[in-house]
Structure 1
Amino acid sequence: MARRVARLTLDTLPHLVGECSSCLFWQLDPVERGRACGHESDELSAWVSQVLREWGSCGRIVYVDDVAAGHVVYAPAAHVPGAAQLATAPVSGDAVLLAQVRVSPAYAGQGLGRVLVQAMAKDLIKRGGIRAVEAFGATEVGHPCVVPADFLLGVGFRTQRSHPRTPRMRMELRSLLSWRSDLEGALDRLLAPVRHQVPVQQPRQPITREADGPLP
């Protein structure tokens, strides 16, 4: 199966998995969500357009054989007013908020959630100036808009502020940079013995009269 990851844009917005294509849980506060009833798709398009203009790409979509299989959505907390309704808000000032990670049930168990988190982290590291990612975890089943806390722990987040239902989790981006550096060092050490075993071809010494006597 061929996998590819694409940026979330207005063109790829309809490919969000499941009910997320019309959900405004994170994008609007509860009052504004009530006013947007019946116009959810338009409001979501307006939100993505605004974030793209003011901050840049705010998500990734993973495709398997050109079929949308999952997505991740993230943005600065200022663009995610819905987060204020959670008990462990607000998000730290040095962090970007991971709002959604969803994988279609048909593709569950294939590691696509981890692929999406890694794609997000790679994007944020390239931007520079961002120290961490935070997310609200769900400890109970049944809240489709909040990422399960167990998943967040499994991909490198730690609890920043505890709560029985929606703890706030955090992942330091510098730890990812350190991990990448350690990996590169390990590869160098692994390849070193191989390099030492490669025979070095010695250059042929020119034949000289002084060394071999007169030539016939």
Structure 2
Amino acid sequence: MSTIFRLDSSIRTEGSVSRAVADTLEASIVEAEDADTTVVRRDVGMNPLANDVWATSAFAGFVAEEDRTDAQVAAKAVAAELADELVAADAIVVATSLYNFGVSQHLKTWIDTVISDPRFAPGTETVKGKPAFLVIARGGGYAEGTPREGWDHATAYLRRIFEDVWGLDLDVIETELTLAEVTPQMAELRDLARQQLAESHEVARTSGRSVTLKLRSAA
């Protein structure tokens, strides 16, 4: 039996590309697994963490447990709960979008709060080697040679956290031009956008099937 932890951070439900591609990935993993698969979901896009939970938890780390305020105790409990979800998972899926050229504030708060748990502080190896996926959607085009090359300030940061800080075995599934269908100025890019979306779903299907081999070999 495997446990998949899935985190969504899109502020949209209807029409969300990151959610749709993550759905394909999740379905492929579940379908390919012979044994029962449990999917644990956390949606910080629709149910954000409190804005002050990270700071309160972080500062509580410098206070002896017996001296912590009620708010600090509660914040550390939230951080521990988030960390527990990652520790218990056999594979991790994080679905997000590029917002204003950066990381979703809801995802950033989740990351910061997790890091405030001692098991996920820089230098720890709590989830090192676990298979993980970053599913990211970008409304425009940010590839080399495009007018906004270098404007994506989210993907490199997320890679740094998931790969270098937490040591996850990370695959990235990227979809661009997701706003072409609803943006008149991007009308000429719609065929390319549809092609990219189809390719992302196919990568998700293939990746879902392949990750089961990692799960079985680790069992």
Same-fold call, TM cutoff 0.5: no
Q: Which has the higher contact order (CA 8 A, sep 6+)?
A: 2
Higher Cα radius of gyration = 1
Q: Which structure has more strand as a fraction of its residues?
A: 1
Structure holding more helix per residue: 2
Q: TM-score, normalised by structure 2?
A: 0.30
